[in-house]
Structure 1
Amino acid sequence: MVSTTVKENGVEGGEVSGLPPGDYSLIGWDVDTTGRRLLDEIFQIAAFAPEVSFSQYVMPFRDLNPAARRRHNIRVVTVGRYRMLKDSRTGKVLKTKSEIFGLSDFIQWLEDIKGNARDGVILVSHEPRKVAAPLLLEALYKYNLLERFSAIVKGFANGYKVAEIKCAKTVHSFSLRTLSRVLLNNEEDLDNAADRARLAFQIVQHLCAGEDHPESNQGSRDGGYSENHGLAEAIRQFTLTVTKEQMELARLKTVLERQNSLRPVFGPLLRLNRRERQRASNLRRILAEAGIDYPMLSATYSKNGKESIAQLLASKLAQAKPKEVDELHELLVGHFDPNSESKTEKSQLNKENRSGIGDVSGSSTPDTTTSSPIKAPSSLGDNTTTDSTNSPQSNTASPQKHSLSTGSVVTIASESVVTLASESTAS
């Protein structure tokens, strides 16, 4: 396995564990899933290669979550004793297989399409954050199909990373929808995995067209094979091996365990709106990826209170934004000590500002909020809805409520699993 640093147009794409030079074939692929979490299931798997394609619907054990139903226009219906997938737009019932048979058919198709590529296949998808590969590997492992799959597929490539480097100076968004419109002059619905698999292949083909790779000189092979092999060679430097992806999946599961341990901190914030849940999910992910879990936080706080928490965050979150570190510090201190001095002082300051008791100059300021036609800004921040629970008198609420300062109201997207950001919708 070779480690390289991909750089083009002055943009460095970071270190990539690529494949050694070889005789590979490139295939576009994608999946549709019941959600964006690691425990969600695949309900469609699709792949595309020049002149041939694969698409198979799989009957999941769980229903699609509301976001997935809207994204893919698919829902699970029950007729008598049987569960089926139904297209919400056409009303057509889709032909499905069980997950194990669907995955077996996919591997068989890969074995057939491999053709003359003696070293195997590279699968390319297009997503800002990996969803497809972890879910596929998890499903393959469940049915003991990973060894057979690894004998054919040698690595995964992400077309999004390719576009980030090659299109850095020409476009501002690297989503599948934008690149399809700009590079291919196509406006397509992207709710189906088969369409996204095809576009992932075509975009990489467009971005790597004309690149000269001596390793791909296959004069004795037919033109179609030679072209696909050359494309695979162009994308090889952006490819992670299956072994590397397995290591990433193991790391992801470790992060999941840390996130689950942080429930006492983030659990009470579940009732806030979607935007704030997303912000808090990001904060929780920052802690987990930095190796911080709840036992570590408890042990740290027991040493020297909020000063110890501040030192821990400073040492572990060197790459985080200062605003995120501040939000996490106040959230954690507020959790372990709801009546902390900093929160009390801010609460008193909020009361003074509202009542016009005084300002920094020591002079009194009249309260004009009831007579002014302009609504005074809330001291709780722009992202907080003011109601009876957020009044100044409730700033000393029980430990189950977390009242944060401006810009720091947070919550989480899910308590039990890692949320995998996907571009299934190709926004």
Structure 2
Amino acid sequence: MVSSTMTEVDPMKKSCDAMGIAPGDYCLVGWDMDTTGKKVIDEICQIAGYTSNSTYSQYVMPYKDLNPTAIKRHSMKVVTNGKFRVLRNSKTNEVIKSKSEVSALTDFLSWLETMKGNADGVILVYHEPRKVIPAMLLESLKKYDFLDRFKQTVKGFANGFNIAEDKCANMAHIYSLRTLSRTLLQKEMNLGNAQDRASLALQIAEYLCTIENIKVEGESNTNNVDNDAAMKKTIEMIREFAQPVDIEEKEHNELKMVFERQNNLRPIFSALFRMNRRERQHASPLRRLLAEAGIVYSELQDAWTNSKKDGLEHLMKEKLPKVDEKKLEDLMIILERHFDPEKKPKSKMSEKKSIKIKNEKKISDDKENNNKCDSGHDSPDTTTSGSPVKINSDEIKAQEDVLTQECAEV
């Protein structure tokens, strides 16, 4: 579940000590899931766990199909054979043995309980730039009334991305699982598989905390370090980044509210999501910005009805006081286009084309002026390097090349 790299510090990480899980003897379990998509409402299609002594992996038969991105990433797809749906490898077309979600979760909980043993609880270690899978797991557990049983075993979630961000701040600015596995562990693994990601998540987190322990203890004492004592220190360091299940559940409920608001804003953004990928990537964070600020469609509609553009601007400044002007400007363009369809704001592409047309007209005018001979003489020679027309053409050609490149980038 790795996505684009982020370097901003997660505000939740800063407050982990204040509301984190209590010190104790915990079992660390690497964990990850493959899903049909990246939304909270999407379903599990593989769930995996890893410890140094045991592993768990189970494919799950989802009710819905995987979206195109998930098919490509996880190399699996749902195929209907007559009356039956099966999970197949999208590359080899082989059938993947799977269970129902309720059976897979039951087995996973039993495995976690075995891993816990006599420990105070389990900490699930995963690795995501923008955490999504804890909320998805909690949603699935609630569906089958497994949440209380889960809380008796699992005490918290630790995001390895936050650990890497903290421990590698002076060494790197990319904390993706792929990059860290190459640079720290010298491993190349299939990141499209939840089981491989689960093992890497735990190994990288433990490696970073072990290195930190060595720095604290001093290299001279490295050979004398008790393995059990070192492991306890590693667990304690990872615990500091862990967030209790109750806090994750609270965030999950907030995330669901944001998702509901995003759906509420569909009349404004639906047309943009049907356009090309660039437009979708541009519109998606803007829609989320409105949803996280608690803005719903009716508020925007009332603001437009009462004061048109001024009403929208006032609402944006009130609800989004810290958002930069560029994003506010982009939002206003989208909102005006929706509430006033007659007004068609010029896109950047149309502006580039307009500039190009003006320059082409200028080229034509310059050539016409240079070819005019008021004294009746022949047109000036344009074959020599010193010709004013030749110089003009070269400059204009250079401008055209720049504009063409800019249009292509847009």
Deviations 1:241-288 (A, max 9, x none): 111111111111111111111112111223321122011001101111
Deviations 1:144-202 (A, max 9, x none): 11110111001111000111111011112100000000110112221110000000000
Partner of residue 31, structure 1: 33
Contact kept in structure 2, 1:180 and 1:199, CA below 8 Å: yes
Task: Give ranges in structure 1 of 5+ residues lacking alignment.
Answer: 1-10, 214-222, 357-364, 385-427
Quote how far apart the aligned CAs of 1:331 are: 1.6
Contact kept in structure 1, 2:177 and 2:201, CA below 8 Å: yes
1:308 correspondence with 2:311: yes
Name the count of aligned residue pairs.
353
Distance verdict in 2 for CA 1:108–1:13, change over 3 Å? closer
Give the AA of the match of 2:333. Answer: E
Quote how far apart the aligned CAs of 1:60 are: 0.8
Q: Secondary structure at the match of 1:265?
A: helix
Pairing of 1:248-263 with structure 2 (within 5 A): 248-263=251-266
Counterparts of 1:224 and 1:151 in 2: how far apart (Å)?
28
Contact kept in structure 2, 1:176 and 1:199, CA below 8 Å: yes
More helix by share: 2
Distance verdict in 2 for CA 1:12–1:239, change over 3 Å? closer
Distance verdict in 2 for CA 1:355–1:108, change over 3 Å? closer
Contact kept in structure 1, 2:349 and 2:407, CA below 8 Å: no
Give the AA of the match of 1:99. Answer: E
Q: What's the TM-score once normalised by structure 2's chain length?
A: 0.78
Contact kept in structure 1, 2:213 and 2:234, CA below 8 Å: no
Give the AA of the match of 2:89. Answer: D
Quote how far apart the aligned CAs of 1:230 are: 3.4
Counterparts of 2:114 and 2:350 in 1: how far apart (Å)?
72
Q: 2:301 aligns with which of 298, 319, 327?
A: 298
Partner of residue 8, structure 2: none
1:265 correspondence with 2:257: no
Q: What's the TM-score once normalised by structure 1's chain length?
A: 0.75
Partner of residue 24, structure 2: 22
Partner of residue 132, structure 1: 133
Structure 1 window deviating more from structure 2 (67-76 vs 91-100): it is 91-100
Partner of residue 239, structure 2: 236
Quote how far apart the aligned CAs of 1:336 are: 1.6
Distance verdict in 2 for CA 1:210–1:268, change over 3 Å? closer
Contact kept in structure 1, 2:352 and 2:407, CA below 8 Å: no
Q: Secondary structure at the match of 2:71?
A: helix
Q: Secondary structure at the match of 2:14?
A: strand
Partner of residue 197, structure 1: 198
Distance verdict in 2 for CA 1:368–1:249, change over 3 Å? same
Partner of residue 285, structure 1: 288
Task: Give ranges in structure 2 of 5+ residues lacking alignment.
Answer: 1-10, 215-225, 366-395
Q: Secondary structure at the match of 1:267?
A: helix
Q: 1:320 aligns with which of 301, 316, 323?
A: 323
Q: Secondary structure at the match of 1:76?
A: strand
Structure 1 window deviating more from structure 2 (322-331 vs 193-202): it is 322-331
Distance verdict in 2 for CA 1:289–1:42, change over 3 Å? same
Partner of residue 159, structure 1: 160
Q: 1:333 aligns with which of 332, 336, 353?
A: 336
Contact kept in structure 1, 2:50 and 2:199, CA below 8 Å: yes
| Larger CA Rg, structure 1 vs 2 | 2
Quote how far apart the aligned CAs of 1:224 are: 7.3
Partner of residue 49, structure 2: 47
Pairing of 1:78-97 with structure 2 (within 5 A): 78-97=80-99
Contact kept in structure 1, 2:125 and 2:158, CA below 8 Å: yes
Contact kept in structure 2, 1:12 and 1:165, CA below 8 Å: no
Instruction: Determine what percentage of the aligned residue pairs are the same residue.
Output: 46
Quote how far apart the aligned CAs of 1:211 are: 5.0
Counterparts of 1:201 and 1:268 in 2: how far apart (Å)?
42
